[in-house]
Amino acid sequence: MELVTKIIETVNNVLWGVPMILLLFGTHLFLTVRTGFIQKKTFTAIRLSVTKDPDSQGDISQFGALTTALASTIGTGNIVGVGTAIALGGPGAVLWCWLTGVFGIATKYSESLIAVKYRVKTKDGTMLGGAMYALERGLHMKWLGIIFAALASLTAFGIGCGVQVNAISSIIDSNLKAVSRGNPSLSAFLSDHPQALSLAVGIVVASVTGLVIFGGVKVIARVCERLVPFMAFFYVIGCLVILFINRAYVGEAFAVIVKSAFTRVDSIAGGLAGSGIMMASRYGIARGLFSNESGMGSAPIVAAAAQTRNPVRQALVSSTGTFWDTVVVCLLTGLVLVSSIIGNDAISVAELSGGELTTAAFSQIPYIGSPILIFGIITFAYSTILGWSYYGERCLEYLLGKKALFPYRIVWTCVLIISPLIQLELVWSIADTLNALMAIPNIIAVLLLSGVVARDTKHYLNHLDEKDDTPIPVISK
């Protein structure tokens, strides 16, 4: 297994090298210019996200589409991923992760716009869309749409399934072991049956997931509409409390993050050091993509199902997902971790993993710190599992038709059961590989259709209430 992990890490070093970083960040910058800096409309987009548009065609509300997309993006990447980026790329990785979010808003907007513009519907009225349909209908490149759908179907099992249930299992395992120190019989059971807990977690997560995903996108959206605001609120409050505790070090943390994003910085505290621009940008951008998914083409799949008057309206709503996920939540996590490391000599970057760094930071809140973190990881991971199950099934439906949905849901729940038994490092490495491969055809679609994005943006941005009456094609799938 170690050999497989090393091979995949070697592949990732190539995929996430200078060319991919330039392609991804360059796309964000290009689309920011092409859309006339669409980020300036963020507050308008936030207002639209809570506005219903029931008279328009679609399966779910704009808010339902947003929260389902947020469910898949606000996951372990916001907690464990940021800690991993700091451990491997230094504190400067936080800035690159944040910048990926700021400029990634334009990419999320653009990919969502073309997803809605080129969506289709089945005979029963179900909306289908995403990069695969944009490639087929907008660029007549069905072959590339097939490649995207195939890669996205596989990616779902990595970033959206294996990584998330593994994170749930890991946090429960580490905390149960801590509790068992005062209970010899429990400690002995965990020692004698090391995989029993992992298997139990997998079965429970698979069961509660199955109850939702077999109900389809409307049930998934209803669950996400309630779960996402609730879980995000508790996590943000926890972060703000820690920043208040660390208030004497927050300013220094800002300075360290900015400085080490571009230069190599000697050890600051707890083994914290700036790794230089290459390492900081490599891990910051990679974890930023893992977190907000701007450029991957995932969120547009559910954006296409939204009830909306025109493509620009839903694209604006979808773009707020990147704002909340990375610009707000990932930045808060990064500040919490760096300020905690600077202010607490007992926290050592060299000795702790990304998840352990976050655990150490939250333990500063007496009594409730660990429960808040545990609740955050479990709910973030579970919501991601729900969101990505939908992405995966829509991509598989594009490839094989509606008949593939029921078997897919069965396989999804089975993978949830076995994933906690797989080595965590291997799961993360596979997810990184698939993320990069999936992003490439989507970026091609967004760049080649950027003229369409610019034209529709110019027209609809000042006429957001105007209805697009272009007929939506009906397909036989």
Domain ranges, ordered by start, for the chain: 9-182+189-459
Q: How many CB atoms lie within 10 A of CB 277?
A: 17
How far apart are the C-alpha atoms of 477 and 467, rounded to whole Å?
Answer: 27
How far apart are the C-alpha atoms of 36 and 14, rounded to whole Å?
Answer: 33
Tokens of 316: 């604006």
Q: pLDDT tens, 179-209?
A: 666 677 767 766 766 788 889 999 999 999 9
Whether the per-residue pLDDT at 134 is higher than 90: the answer is yes
The fraction of the chain above a pLDDT of 90, given in percent, is 29
Indicate the SS3 state at residue 415.
helix
Q: pLDDT tens, 224-241?
A: 888 888 888 888 898 899
Q: Are 399 and 156 in contact (CB under 8 A)?
A: no
β pairing state of 264-265 and 274-275 = antiparallel
**CATH node for 9-182+189-459:** 1.20.1740
Tokens of 159: 């970033």
How far apart are the C-alpha atoms of 181 and 12, rounded to whole Å?
Answer: 39
**Of 308, 441, 445, 329, whose CA–CA distance to 380 is shortest?**
329
Q: pLDDT tens, 266-306?
A: 555 544 555 566 677 777 877 777 678 888 898 899 888 88
Determine phi and psi for 133, rounding to 5 degrees: -75, -35
Tell me the pTM. 0.89
- What's CA 47's distance to the chain center, in Å? 22
Tokens of 5: 């992990």
Indicate the SS3 state at residue 124.
coil
Indicate the SS3 state at residue 344.
coil
**Of 347, 339, 424, 338, whose CA–CA distance to 381 is shortest?**
424
How far apart are the C-alpha atoms of 27 and 333, rounded to whole Å?
Answer: 26
How far apart are the C-alpha atoms of 6 and 23, rounded to whole Å?
Answer: 25
- What's CA 108's distance to the chain center, in Å? 12
Q: pLDDT tens, 376-417?
A: 888 888 888 988 999 999 999 999 998 999 999 999 999 999
Tokens 């995966």: give the residue.
392
How many CA within 13 A on the CB side of residue 114?
32
Q: Are 416 and 381 in contact (CB under 8 A)?
A: no
Q: pLDDT tens, 416-452?
A: 999 888 776 677 777 778 888 899 999 999 999 999 9
Determine phi and psi for 306, rounding to 5 degrees: -75, 150
Distance spanning both ends of the chain, measured CA to CA:
40
